[in-house]
Amino acid sequence: MRTLIQSRLTQFRPAADPLARTLASVEGEAPVELRDRLRGAAPAAVLLGLIERAHGLGVLLTQRGAHLSVHAGQISFPGGRLEKQDSGPIDAALREAEEEIGLTPSLVQVAGCLDDFLTPTGFLITPVVGFVDSGFEPKADANEVDDVFEVPLDFLLDEANVGISFRERMGATFRMYEYRYGNRHIWGATAAILMNFRDVIS
């Protein structure tokens, strides 16, 4: 599976228009205010980390702190805004992963990037895919992360585990993907990025 993923990502060319793809998930006409916010989105990056386990590859995910003012308690990838010191999305994703879960960049072999994803909250996220050394043990930053856990990649690739939900954001109704893994509810940008990853490697 690792060889297949590496091969597909090497050949993959990200789509040029994330705005059109995000607007395609809106039911009906998107309000002007939403369109303006999406056009002014702040660059961000996340790390879709794949780690080898006995059952196969697992995907590293975090549960954001319940005390945070934005996306509190939600399931996400390690990541955040691009900062001045970052040379680009890959640098930002690796920096944020080290800050949030103690993942040293030297333990990550970057395989490539997926399609940029625009969130209704105004972020343009570049998902960076990387293979994480199997000896990695997470150390969550309590200021940002309540928990670090893994979901088997096979579970996420199985179409039977994918659901659809509808949520109101910025005066618009968005059609969103979601997963239920035990007591974990994975939805929003995280689920959309996982679906994009599934499409790329399948």
Q: Give the CATH number of the domain where residue 58 resides.
A: 3.90.79.10
Burial class (CB in 10 A: 0-12, 13-18, 19+), 161: middle
Is the distance from CB of 25 to CB of 19 less than 8 angstroms? no
Q: In terms of Cα–Cα distance, which of 174, 67, 74, 47 is closest to 119?
A: 174
Total domains in the chain come to: 1
Radius of gyration of the chain (CA): 16
Q: Is 149 helix (H, G, I), strand (E, B) or coil?
A: strand
**What local confidence, expressed as pLDDT, does residue 33 receive?**
87
49: β partners:
130
Token reading at 198? 């599934």
Tell me the residue range of the domain where 156 lies.
2-16+26-201
Question: How many angstroms separate the CA atoms of 169 and 166, rounded?
Answer: 10
**What local confidence, expressed as pLDDT, does residue 103 receive?**
98
- pLDDT tens for the chain, 202 residues long, are 999 999 999 999 888 789 988 999 999 888 988 888 888 899 999 999 999 998 899 999 999 866 664 655 689 999 999 999 999 999 999 999 999 999 999 999 999 999 999 998 889 999 999 999 999 999 999 888 999 999 999 999 999 999 999 998 878 999 999 999 999 999 999 999 999 999 999 8
Residue type at 54 in one-letter notation: A
Question: Cβ contacts of residue 3 below 8 Å, gap of 6+?
Answer: none
Q: Around 177, how many Cα atoms within 13 Å sit in the side-chain half-sphere?
A: 17
Question: How many angstroms separate the CA atoms of 13 and 65, rounded?
Answer: 34
**What local confidence, expressed as pLDDT, does residue 173 receive?**
93
Please name the residue that has the structure tokens 């369109």: 35
Q: How far is CA 201 from CA 79, 84, 143, in A?
A: 22, 32, 34
Question: Cβ contacts of residue 84 below 8 Å, gap of 6+?
Answer: none
**What local confidence, expressed as pLDDT, does residue 106 receive?**
97
Q: Does some domain include residue 21?
A: no
Does the reported pTM lie above 0.75? Answer: yes
Is the distance from CB of 173 to CB of 27 less than 8 angstroms? yes
